Amino acid sequence: MGGAANSAHQIGLAADITAPGLTPRALAALILQSGIEFDQLIYEGTWVHVGLSSGAPRSQVLTASFSGGHASYAAGIR
């Protein structure tokens, strides 16, 4: 599987999602425009990561890029 040991996935506060009929980019944009509160929204190319928080949400929006087995992140949906 992989992923960070401190990932919100590990404690049930995050999911990687897709939606039939929407590209992952369109899904990320729809979530962003919806007003739904989230801690992190990450457009990851083939899916969207949605993370929640047990505290105050950061409302962080990122786009992931992958190269050589490593991820880098840029602000916003690109």
pLDDT band (50, 70, 90) for residue 1: very low
pLDDT at 5 (0 to 100): 76
> How many other C-beta atoms can be found within 10 angstroms of the C-beta atom of residue 8?
19
Query: Is 32 part of a structural domain of the chain?
Result: yes
Supply the range of the domain harboring residue 53.
13-75
Question: Would you say residue 63 lies in a domain?
Answer: yes
Q: What is the pLDDT of residues 25-75, one digit of tens each?
A: 999 999 999 999 999 999 999 999 999 999 999 999 999 999 999 999 999
Q: Is residue 23 part of a domain?
A: yes
Give the number of domains in the chain: 1
Q: What pLDDT, on a 0 to 100 scale, did the predictor assign at position 3?
A: 63
**61 against 8, higher pLDDT:** 61
In the beta sheet, which residues pair with residue 61? 41
1 in any annotated domain: no
